[in-house]
Structure 1
Amino acid sequence: MADPTALRLANTIRATSGGLTDAFATTDSVRDWLTANAPELGEFLDPATFVPTEQDRAALVELRQHVRALFAKAVAPEPPSGADASALPPFPEALAALNAAAAPLVRELHWDAAGPSLRTRLLTTDELHTVKAVLADAAIEFCTGPTLPQVRVCPAPRCVLYFLKGHPRQEWCSVACGNRARAARHYHQHRAE
């Protein structure tokens, strides 16, 4: 199962052997990420035609930081991801910013011969506001859904990802991180002898 959009957004910061990498480091990488996540962006934006500017990139990085601040709150009292824990905005600011970003997206009740249904309407034509609204709405839906209590921070050395704990014994985001953590523990135990 693919990770929810909000989790993928939060994990656009990753650790590699060369250090932290940011999927939003350049306007081209932002466009690539949006294109790869196009199905989740819904009917309101065609990522193939959206050419983000440097200001757009910075705004999406800021939105990501707000989502990561919400995830840090969700995993508390455990520590947040080490990628940017010192650079996260305060929780009240992140919450307000996320709600403001989602404001152009309005859910409405539609009723026709088939009965009631939920429809979503966008109150802006600005592409950046559209992207932010759709991503903020995905984060709001995730934070109010049943899986938020499963969010964890991977404790493996050098890993900075948030993940969904899918099994009671799951401790790491991936098998590779589990292997790295066990190897580090083994090294420290034998080094102390």
Structure 2
Amino acid sequence: MQRYLALELASTIRHDGNGGVTDDLGDVAGTARWLDAQAELFAGNGLPAEHAGRLRVDETARGELVALRQAVRALFARAVSPGPPSPADAGRLLPVRQALDRLNAAAAREPTAPQLRWSNDALPVTHLLPAADNDPLVRLTAALARAAIAFLTGPERELLRACTAPRCVRYYVKRHGRQEWCKPSCGNRARVARHYRRQHDAQ
């Protein structure tokens, strides 16, 4: 299944499997683990793994990632409208204008220049090359912001949904016409809850 960097960032808030919600960016150690797990995706979005490895993960870095995630989740909520947003966001969404400003500001922090690459046996492609060797945190947040912009302006936006299973707070890309939940375990939980409600109503 294809993974999207913007969706991975949004999914750092997730159901913990025990009826609660966990935050992968809740502390510095968790943030460092999440960044390590995304090395391949960062490389696919123009950020070499060795560059991400130079980032000193501290409270400043964690705070910037959390702020960017808040903007991405607010824009995801707008994208799934008129459907409901994730329950994790419903009561505390950033205003859309503020979310857009935050995302665009992060993307603009690192100046880039398009570079054409055209090997003998492939079609020409463009890559964004950083105009300068910026601070690793600037490069990281800019790469995440650009990935979110690409996601929200691409065809995936039309397939974005908020999972409606009990206690789930994830967004997901709908893969087929009948998909209602982000993963099978959420579908099982939703069916059990539905069955329980029917049994309760019948009494």
Q: Does TM, scored on the shorter chain, surpass 0.5?
A: yes
Residue equivalent to 1:6: 6
Deviations along 1:63-92, one digit per CA (max 9) or x if unpaired, are 001000110000001111011222221111
Give the TM-score normalised by structure 2: 0.87
Residue equivalent to 1:184: 193
The alignment's C-alpha RMSD in Å is 2.0
Instruction: Kindly state the Cα deviation for residue 40 of structure 1 after the two structures are TM-superposed.
Output: 1.9
Candidates 112, 123, 127, aligned match of 1:119: 127
Residue equivalent to 1:150: 159
Instruction: Kindly state the Cα deviation for residue 52 of structure 1 after the two structures are TM-superposed.
Output: 1.1
Q: Which amino acid aligns with 2:21?
A: L
Give the Cα–Cα distance (whole angstroms) in 1 for the partners of residues 150 and 94 of structure 2. Answer: 21
Q: Partner of 2:99: helix, strand, or coil?
A: helix
Q: Partner of 2:88: helix, strand, or coil?
A: coil
Q: Which amino acid aligns with 1:101?
A: A
How many residues are aligned here? Answer: 193
Q: 2:6–2:72: 8 Å Cα contact kept in structure 1?
A: yes
| Gap runs ≥5 in structure 1 | none
Give the Cα–Cα distance (whole angstroms) in 2 for the partners of residues 92 and 142 of structure 1. Answer: 18
Q: Partner of 2:32: helix, strand, or coil?
A: helix
Q: Say if 1:169 and 1:18 are closer, same or farther in 2 by CA, change over 3 A.
A: closer
Q: Say if 1:100 and 1:168 are closer, same or farther in 2 by CA, change over 3 A.
A: same
| Gap runs ≥5 in structure 2 | none
Residue equivalent to 1:24: 25
Instruction: Kindly state the Cα deviation for residue 119 of structure 1 after the two structures are TM-superposed.
Output: 2.9
Instruction: Give the % identical residues.
Output: 45
Residue equivalent to 1:86: 91
Give the Cα–Cα distance (whole angstroms) in 1 for the partners of residues 186 and 118 of structure 2. Answer: 51
Instruction: Kindly state the Cα deviation for residue 44 of structure 1 after the two structures are TM-superposed.
Output: 4.4
Deviations along 1:79-131, one digit per CA (max 9) or x if unpaired, are 11011222221111111111111111524144889796523122451111111
Give the TM-score normalised by structure 1: 0.92
Q: 2:54–2:136: 8 Å Cα contact kept in structure 1?
A: no
Q: 1:107–1:118: 8 Å Cα contact kept in structure 2?
A: no
Deviations along 1:24-70, one digit per CA (max 9) or x if unpaired, are 01111111111111122224453333221101101100100100011
Q: Say if 1:171 and 1:117 are closer, same or farther in 2 by CA, change over 3 A.
A: closer
Q: Partner of 2:53: helix, strand, or coil?
A: coil
Give the Cα–Cα distance (whole angstroms) in 2 for the partners of residues 41 and 156 of structure 1. Answer: 30
Q: 1:44–1:130: 8 Å Cα contact kept in structure 2?
A: no
Give the Cα–Cα distance (whole angstroms) in 2 for the partners of residues 179 and 116 of structure 1. Answer: 45
Q: Which amino acid aligns with 2:154?
A: G
Q: Partner of 1:40: helix, strand, or coil?
A: helix
Q: Partner of 1:62: helix, strand, or coil?
A: helix
Q: Partner of 1:183: helix, strand, or coil?
A: helix
